[in-house]
């Protein structure tokens, strides 16, 4: 079985594992941050995706993700990779986090999953050839045990954090970048781009 301890990595192994890890984390980042064109570049043409709510090609998966109603970001824990020539298997430990209204109650769904990737080097570039989920456990709990009106003065993207810090006397900036104000995220990325490409 491929799951065995790697006793020694060559320099080539380390480089391959770094490239694969970056590929997988970049794909998840794009999925969670609506970078659909870049996400599409991560999949091989004949790739196959099979998860709880979707089965199809990588290209179809990007389109389906773009059309998904719920925002479902991923918290990534660990990624392990086994390389054999131009192929590799990777297992990513992650938690899917979905917040949505269910029967007029705002709920938080957390689903622990192992994402199993087949990756393949094609013309010297690593791509995702397949992805499948192994589901460990999940929970569905109300977001607010405290009266909801206590949270109404805070931004939805970090209302609970703001409320908790306020109880300790902190004043939280209400203009931070967040998904509920997309322009703040765009502005931050633009600032990062200017800094990255500025002449030293």
User: What's the CA gap between 42 and 127, in Å, rounded?
Assistant: 5
Residue ranges of the domains in the chain?
A: 1-143
Instruction: Supply the pLDDT for residue 94.
Output: 96
Q: What is the maximum alpha-carbon separation in the chain?
A: 58
User: What's the CA gap between 190 and 186, in Å, rounded?
Assistant: 6
The domain defined by 1-143 folds into: Nuclear Transport Factor 2; Chain: A, (3.10.450)
Radius of gyration for the alpha carbons in the chain, expressed in angstroms and rounded: 20
Instruction: Supply the pLDDT for residue 144.
Output: 86
Instruction: Supply the pLDDT for residue 26.
Output: 98
Q: How far is CA 6 from CA 2, 3, 15, 92, 200, in A?
A: 10, 9, 15, 17, 41
Its pTM stands at 0.88
Q: Residues 70-105: pLDDT tens digits?
A: 889 999 999 999 999 999 999 999 999 999 998 888
| Residue 138 per-residue DSSP state | E
User: What's the CA gap between 143 and 134, in Å, rounded?
Assistant: 26
What pairs with residue 105 in β-bridges? 102
**What residues of the chain score a pLDDT lower than 50?**
none
155's enclosing H/E stretch is none
């Amino acid at each position: 079985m491929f799951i065995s301890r790697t006793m020694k990595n060559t320099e080539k192994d380390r480089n391959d594992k770094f490239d694969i890890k970056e590929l997988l984390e970049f794909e998840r980042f794009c999925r969670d941050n609506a970078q659909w064109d870049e996400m599409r570049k991560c999949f091989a043409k004949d790739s196959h995706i099979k998860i709880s709510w979707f089965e199809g090609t990588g290209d179809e998966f990007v389109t389906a993700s773009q059309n998904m109603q719920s925002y479902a970001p991923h918290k990534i824990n660990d990624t392990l990779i086994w390389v054999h020539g131009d192929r590799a298997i990777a297992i990513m430990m992650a938690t899917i986090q979905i917040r949505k209204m269910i029967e007029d109650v705002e709920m938080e769904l957390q689903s622990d999953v192992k994402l199993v990737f087949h990756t393949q080097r094609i013309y010297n570039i690593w791509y995702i050839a397949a992805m499948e989920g192994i589901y460990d456990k999940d929970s569905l709990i109300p977001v607010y045990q405290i009266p909801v009106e206590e949270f109404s003065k805070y931004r939805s993207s970090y209302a609970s954090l703001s409320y908790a810090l306020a109880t300790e006397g902190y004043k939280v900036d209400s203009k931070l970048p967040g998904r509920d104000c997309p322009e703040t995220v765009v502005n931050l990325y633009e600032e990062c781009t200017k800094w990255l490409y500025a002449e030293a």
